[in-house]
């Protein structure tokens, strides 16, 4: 194995870590966003939930931005193929993210249109939560690709059963994660409501996991035989069971840690099946985009690795520090 291959493999993992970091961190504020209209019964509830995510949601979203930038830098062909191929779907996500970014601040300061901004935040959180999973399902199942690496399908190619199942699985994971974070950060009736919703959505998450597993068997040949995939699945199942047990007790930290862990298990499953491919080609054409045929040069990957090696430890240190500053229940 030469240096270039090692770097390509490292970058496959690093982008996986960025995506996992994005789902663990932004996942809970996306989940709270979607559930806001149902979880918050009055203005104080809304302020409490906004304040729970206010100091951190933007930093959380940077994980997505950085994952996008890193994909661009490390595997430009995958970035180009997926983003131009999934044009309308991605634009929908972008419109959603635009509304989402402004709606907390606008809800607070544009009083006459509060219900509009509340729903803008909810729908702006819903679309990315669903569509990122759909996109993942597509690149895993395979999309029609030309021999010049271009997507040859249409918007409706993306809406196949397996990608939709993956999208709904991701969405339900995000919903449960939002509930466990909301329960962690709030008190009183709002806290109890968040916990109850968490318990109910937990069942939905479990059902979606089973459906996705069955569909993997149907649509992804060999997927149920991968040992790494089963290790990932074991992590998901164990974390879900432990999380569910602790949801019934007084501790709010364990369920949140467990839903966080379940995302890492989910990415483990996806990553172990997908490696070394980034975008699979449909129809047995063999025109897959892999880390080997889509990557940047050895020098660029090295420079990027240096940047990540210096930068990411710093990011982790001050992110953890910031979370510690805002730890504990929100008090208004």
Kindly identify the residues of this chain, within the stretch 303-332, that bind other proteins according to CB under 8 A.
Answer: 303-304, 307-308, 311-312, 314-315, 318-319, 322, 325-326
Q: How far is the CB of 204 from other proteins (least distance, A)?
A: 29
Q: Which one of 109-117, 162-170, 206-214, 269-277 is the stretch in contact with other proteins (CB under 8 A)? A: 109-117
Give the residue among 178, 186, 179, 184 at the shortest CA–CA distance from 331.
Answer: 186
- Residue 324, exposed/middle/buried by CB under 10 A (0-12, 13-18, 19+)? exposed
Window 115-134: residues binding other proteins (CB under 8 A): none
Q: How far is the CB of 217 from other proteins (least distance, A)?
A: 32
**Cβ–Cβ contacts within 10 Å for residue 43, how many?**
10
Structure tokens at 172: 């339900």
> Nearest approach, Cβ of 166 to other proteins (angstroms)?
20
13 binds other proteins (CB under 8 A): no
Indicate the residue among 95 and 230 with the shorter CB distance to other proteins: 95
Report residue 163 CA to chain centroid gap. 14
Which 3 state secondary structure label does DSSP give 145? strand
Considering only residues 36 through 95, tell me which ones interact with other proteins, judged by CB under 8 A. 43-44, 46-47, 50-51, 54-56, 58-59, 61-62, 64-66, 68-74, 76-77, 79-85, 87-88, 90-91, 94-95
Instruction: Using alpha carbons, list the distances in angstroms from residue 10 to 59, 293, 295, 305.
Output: 24, 15, 12, 9
Q: Does 192 bind other proteins (CB under 8 A)?
A: no
Contacting residue, 115, 251, 285, 297, with other proteins by CB under 8 A: 297
Alpha-carbon dihedral 317, 254, 200, 94, rounded to 10 degrees: 0
Residue ranges in 132-151 that form contacts with other proteins under rule CB under 8 A: 149-151
Give the interface size with other proteins as a residue count (CB under 8 A). Answer: 72
Applying CB under 8 A, does 213 fall inside the site for other proteins? no
Does 98 engage in binding with other proteins (CB under 8 A)? Answer: yes
Tokens of 258: 């467990």
Tokens 């996942």 -> residue: 27
* Radius of gyration of the chain, Cα coordinates, nearest whole angstrom: 20
């Amino acid at each position: 194995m030469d240096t270039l291959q090692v770097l390509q493999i490292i970058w496959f993992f690093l982008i996986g870590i960025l995506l996992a970091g994005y789902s663990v961190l932004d996942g809970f504020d996306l989940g709270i966003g979607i559930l806001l209209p149902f979880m918050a019964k009055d203005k104080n509830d809304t302020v409490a939930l906004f304040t729970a995510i206010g100091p951190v949601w933007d930093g959380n979203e940077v994980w997505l931005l950085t994952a996008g930038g890193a994909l661009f830098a490390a595997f430009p062909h995958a970035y180009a193929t997926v983003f131009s191929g999934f044009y309308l779907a991605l634009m929908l996500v972008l419109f959603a993210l635009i509304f989402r970014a402004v709606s907390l601040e606008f809800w607070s300061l544009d009083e006459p249109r509060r219900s509009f901004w509340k729903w803008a935040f909810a729908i702006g959180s819903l679309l990315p939560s669903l569509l990122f999973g759909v996109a993942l399902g597509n690149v895993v199942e395979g999309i029609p690709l030309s021999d010049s690496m271009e997507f040859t399908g249409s918007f409706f190619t993306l809406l196949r059963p397996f990608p939709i199942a993956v999208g709904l699985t991701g969405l339900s994971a995000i919903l449960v994660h939002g509930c466990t974070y909301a329960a962690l950060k709030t008190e009183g009736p709002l806290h109890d409501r968040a916990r109850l919703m968490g318990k109910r959505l937990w069942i939905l998450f479990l059902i979606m996991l089973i459906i996705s597993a069955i569909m993997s068997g149907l649509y992804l040949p060999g997927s149920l035989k991968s040992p790494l995939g089963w290790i990932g699945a074991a992590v998901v199942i164990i974390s879900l069971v432990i999380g569910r047990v602790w949801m019934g007790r007084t501790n709010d930290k364990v369920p949140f840690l467990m839903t966080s862990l379940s995302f890492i298990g989910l990415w483990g499953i996806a990553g172990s099946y997908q490696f070394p491919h980034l975008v699979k080609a449909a129809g047995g054409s063999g025109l897959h985009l892999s880390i080997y045929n889509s990557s940047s040069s050895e020098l660029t990957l090295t420079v990027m690795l240096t940047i990540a090696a210096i930068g990411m430890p710093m990011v982790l240190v001050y992110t953890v520090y910031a979370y510690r500053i805002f730890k504990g229940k929100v008090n208004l």
